[in-house]
Amino acid sequence: MDNFKKTIQEGLIEHLSFLPPEAIIVIISALPIIELRGGLPAGAFLDLSFQSALVYSILGNLLPIAPILLLFRPISKWLVRFNFYDRFYHFSQEDSFLKNSLEFQVGVLLAVLSVITRNFSPFLVK
């Protein structure tokens, strides 16, 4: 799997070579497969400092969040027209009794912490 990621990373750098290095790092870090684990080594490969590569990698990793949050509800409302999604949507809404509960809030907190830990743990271990 690491070899596959490295091949994708090198291919992206080669095909995006017309862009500035910072834009390449943001694009690589925004991809779901590679994320920060590919953005930081690509920054080193493109001769960026660790600090700037980290900033652009985090920016790229956060970039998809805004469109997802803004577009999820309108796209979901549009997809409810279709039977397969309507069944899934109503099932998930019926099961969301935990929406405002303490368990839900703790679950969201743990999910956020796991993402942070997953992304930064390789740099904590030497």
Which band of pLDDT confidence, cut at 50, 70 and 90, is reported for residue 119?
low
Rounded to whole angstroms, the Cα distance separating 96 from 27 reads: 34
The predicted model gives 24-31 an average pLDDT of 88
DSSP the chain: -HHHHHHHHHHHHHHTTTS-HHHHHHHHHHSTTTHHHHHHHHHHHTT--HHHHHHHHHHHHHTTHHHHHHHHHHHHHHHTTSHHHHHHHHHHHHT-TTTTSHHHHHHHHHHHHHHHHHHHHHHH--
Contact 13, 24 (CB under 8 A): yes
The pair of three-digit structure tokens given for residue 50, joined into one six-digit string: 């660790």
Q: What is the pLDDT of residues 80-115, one digit of tens each?
A: 888 888 887 777 666 555 555 666 666 666 676 666
What are the residue ranges spanned by the domains of the chain?
A: 2-62, 66-95, 98-126
User: According to the model, what pLDDT value does residue 126 have?
Assistant: 47
Higher pLDDT, 5 or 54: 54
* Residue 61 tokens, joined: 């990793």
pLDDT of residue 26: 92
| The predicted structure's pLDDT at residue 23 | 92
